[in-house]
Every structure is written in structure tokens, then in C-alpha cells.
Structure 1
């Protein structure tokens, strides 16, 4: 795989940023190198000089505000351990990303959003949740592109509803992903207070108020002066993904694969030193922050399992076989003579499909479970999944008994 290499960044953010030059070093160059403290000192001096000369300072003050914000963000750079990175064509990046089934499904919005829902210009990528009953996507409204959701209602889809609570103070919002908890939403937004073009944000749904909380920038090293988006966490397989065009030529992007943290960890800036912190925040090379050899091999093995399972992921399951008695097995709903038994067979089929899905998820959890390294969260997740599968098996078995009884008792 091609690794991601460095090219100049800051110019990707905006073409109208005014460079402030002194001693042959511009503020733009300082910002590009994450030398925010020096940029702040330079800007403060330039603003003071502009005030003395009675010249406008609005542009300088706006840049100063950003430099101060980014300086704070740099000091809180998350400690992330990477697994791999690869350079791909921008138009084909989705095909190079490999998610477990529990992550739901991604596709170009034009392909995934139902025709009945397409009323306005769509964004780039849409997301369908694990249960396949919600599709999140971006579409234009009032001159800007915001996030919407449509929900399955029987065989149709509801009218798109804007995600309440998410401020539309950027030009474009896109690349949504909702975690399996149904609450945590990641997406990309082009906001003026962001680091780059697209920055990655996270928010959570407040059920009581029926709206999302104020979104937060997830910070460095995920966001940069370039475009960063398509942030996905595969909890079951302990893999994280995001896409960036930092350091890339036109038409190319880099896909980063990392191991997500159970809780946010940040670098000790004092112990690391500013130069090192800048390097890991900029992701000039993931070699600085790779997993150790053993953990890296395990992570790549989990990724390979997902890749190996993909050819069969969309294949049809074996047709249901309805066991009626020791010598009677139905292979079609049309064979039922009892309407009640037929109704129970339909319900059984749905529950059986759900059970199969949860059993597959349990099997993946067990394969990835390491007794010596498992966290409390992973142990709890495995126990909850085992309980869920046990409960669903009870439901399936009970429905099977009722279905057989109803069919055999029909006169």
C-alpha cells in the first residue's frame, strides 16, 4: 500500500488567506507548520503596528483568533495508534474501506437514497444504519448543504427530516456516520472556525429534547488545514477509519486506519516536546505512532477477516426451511394450510434472520476477544451480546413450536 507523504498544507484551506510576512517567514507558513505560538506573537505585533498606522486589522484579528484556537487544539492532540494508511483515487475511496456488518452500509448518496426521497441536490456519501431502517445523507436547503434522515415506513421511506440541533453555520455538511448506539453521530463540516476545508465533528442525540447536542470538533491529528472526513468507528473489530487529502496531489486521498481508544487520551506536551507534538499532530508519518508489533499483527488480522468475508456479505441466505414434523418440512410459505401458522412462519423468519445476524456478531466478538487484554467495556459488550443471543433463541424456538402446533392442529 502507498503510505501518505507530506506536501504543503495550509494553502488548501482557503485562497483568500492573507499572508503576513516578516523575516522571509509568513504567518501562513507558521500556521502550516503548526508553529502557532510564533504565529500568535507575529500577529499580535502586526496588529499593534497596524493600529499605530491606523490601518484595518480585521483580517489580522480573525487569523489571530484561529491561531489561538489551533494552539489549544494542538496541546490536546489525541494519542492515536495507527495500523495502516493508503493512497487511493478520491472518487473510489469507499471501495478501499472495509467495515464490519455492524457498521451499517455506505454508498454514494445518488445510489443509496431512495428515488422517492430525492427532492434536492444530494451530497457525496449516504449512510444506512445497521437495522436498515434509517438513511442519513446531505442535501441542499436554503443555499447550504445540511444533514437529513429518512426512515423506513413499511415498504416506503419517510419525507427527509433535517437533523435538529446541528448548526448550519458551514457551507457544506456531509459524510455522516451513526455508531451502533444510535446516538453518536460523526460527520464532516466546512465551518469557518474549523482547521481546514472539511473538519470532522461529533455530536450525540438527546432523546428528551429530540435533537442533537452542540457538535464538537474532534481535533488533531484527525483534522488538518486540508479536507478530513468519513470518520468511522468499527467497535466490534476495534478499527477506526478516516479520509484526508492532506499531503496529496489533486484527485488523490489518503485513508488512515487506526485503533480507536476506549476513552480519549492526549499526549503530554511537556514530556514530548513541541517539535514531536507538531509532527504527530500533522501526521507527517504514521511511523511515529504505530501499534507495537504484536498488536499491529492482531489488528491487521481483524481487518483481513472483514475483507475475506465481503464477497459473501451481500449473497442471499439459504432459503428458510419450516420444520413441521419429523416427516414434514416446508420450503415455501405457500405450503401452509393454516393462515395462523403462515403468519407465525413469517414472524419466525424475521426473528430467525435477526438471530442469525446477532449470532454472527457474537462469533466475531468471540474471535477478537483476548482474555488477557480485554477491557472492561469489551467484557461487558461480549456478555450483553451473549444475553441478547440467548433471548432471541428463546423467541425463535417459541415461535417455531407455535407455528408447528397451529399447522398440525388444522383440520
Structure 2
């Protein structure tokens, strides 16, 4: 009886915690059929999907006895509302963050400067890459019927990079600000575009969400414990939930199921099951990146039909001359801005490649003389300030995942 009572309380807690998020997702499905006055009167808090999942994870972990319930309401509220990560993650577990928040921290100059480094890197990712790429992405996606062939490829590739650097930039800023207070937040990305399979991609992309879906959706559904057919159904259901988490509307469900189908198909192809080095691994990475990009086009498009049309138009024309006749400079970025974007992407690739090889650049940087480190800090800030794209027309651009 006691166990049944706990289950009822858990169910009620999950329902209450997720009700506002579910309302938002339902409105996403029926938005076109509801009057604007009703839609505009519904106020959805920022970062809702992030702390909803945080609360659900806490409730389930308490129910399963993994953690002890926090009896101090203020300490619990601090965990739920810790400001650096509340808008855009990462999604922390109680046992990862709670002790850090309440144990007290003396000033640590080394941690403080590491926080400053992360903040600078976060701004670099946001203003030097994400917002610049976003200008071209918006130009093409907002008028996709006027473009075909390599224009759509450019939009798809740049959106893949925009979304990654925008989200990574915000998480890096969150980690940096938390580090100023001596608090460490988990890494949410591990170079996802170096993944050589969709399964590997989801081990590297939005790690806090991926592990949440595994622990609180996939495994409770039965995981891979109930046969191959049930495993496939569980996988598709988990990715459908992932799509629904990102937004209401059929395109998000479709996007999630695309990744689920990708995984089911690659599990049947030996080429993707073997670990290769050299050219074969590069080929796997390129194939994987293409499949992810195709899904991102659906994700970014106005609706599912627009996304499918864009994918169709990718293969409707071969127009390589746009790279030589100046046509790409009519997409919102002038030549010098393209140069800055490409150079910034090369910096990101170099840093990511070194980190992928296990090289800790931060330790090498900290070994430099104090004057050298501060010189680099100041130069980096000035470069971002002068060459970064602070929104369009100097208007601040929101972080993309803040809308989810």
C-alpha cells in the first residue's frame, strides 16, 4: 500500500511539474486553429523545458532512493533556480549540483580565471560564428523558394554550425559564470560533429538531455531488455519524446523520429558497426554529418512541408558558380564578414581537434606567463568586440535553445 501511495505521489508530482510544458506543446500543435488573442495571453516562462526535466529527474531519483529528499525548501529552490543554467542548461542532476550550491566556497583565483576564459570562449562562439552564420541561414530559410542547389546546402551546413555554436556558446557562458562562484557544471557537448554514427552523435550532443532520455524514458520503457522488436519501439518512442521536448508541432516529432530511424538503419549496416581509422572513419563522419544536417533542415524550417521542400530543392540544381560570381555576398554577409566567419570556424575546428586528441589547451595556456595570458585575454575581447556580430543591426540576438 505504501508503495502504491508513493507511485501516486510520483505521478501527481510529474504531472504537475510537466503540465505547463505540455500545455505549451499542445498549443504548438493547435496554434493555427486558436485565435491570436488566446495564444498571446498564454505566458510561458523562459527555460521551462530545462527545469521541468530537472524537477522530474529529482522526483524520480527520490522515489527510487538514489538521493535523499531535500527538506529545506530554500535549498531545493536554489537547486531548481540556479541562475547560470536555468535558461538553457545543461540539465543538472541533484547529486551533481546540490552539495556544490550549499557547501560554501572561498575565493579561488584559479577557478575565477578559468571562468573568465570560458566566458570569453562562449562569446567567441556566439558572436563570431553563430550570429554571423545566422544571418545567411535566415536569408535562405525565410525565402527558401527563391533558392535551390548549393544555396540550400550552404543554409543546411551553416545552420548545423549555428545551432551548435549558439548552444555550446550559451552553455560555456553558463559554466564560466558558475565557475566564478567556484561551482562546476557538467559538459554538455563532446565535439558532436566528429561523431562517426548517429548513436555516437547522441553520446556527444546535448549530453544532459541524452542521458536524461536514456534514464527516464528509454530504460523505464524496457530499454533493450525485452527483445529486438521492443528495443526498436522503445528507441523510436524515446526520440519522439526528444522531438516533443524541443517543441510542439509535427515537424519536431518528425525530426526526433528521423534520428530514431537513422539509428535503426545504421544498426543493420556493418560499415557503421565497425571502428575504422583514417579515410574510412572520415567517410563515416561525413555521412553522419550529412544525415544530421538533413534532420536539422526539418528542425529549422517553418514547418514540416517547408523542410521537405528544402531537402528536395537541395538536389534540384547544380550551381557552383555562386562561389565565384559574388552571389554568396548577397546573402546578408559581405566578403569581409565571410572571411571572419571562415577564420573563426577554422579556430573552432583547430581547438576541437586538439581537445578530441586529449590535449588540454587550458593547462598549456595557464603555463604561460601572467602578462602573456592577460595580453591574450585583452586581444580576444577586442577581436570579439570589433568583428563579432552582435545580432543584426546591433540588436541582441537571443540564444536559440532559450526558446525550447
Superposition TM-score tier, normalisation by shorter sequence: under 0.3
Structure number with the higher helix fraction is 2
Structure number with the higher strand fraction is 1
Compute the TM-score of the two structures, normalised by the length of structure 1: 0.25
For CA contacts below 8 A with separation 6 or more, give which structure has more relative contact order: 2
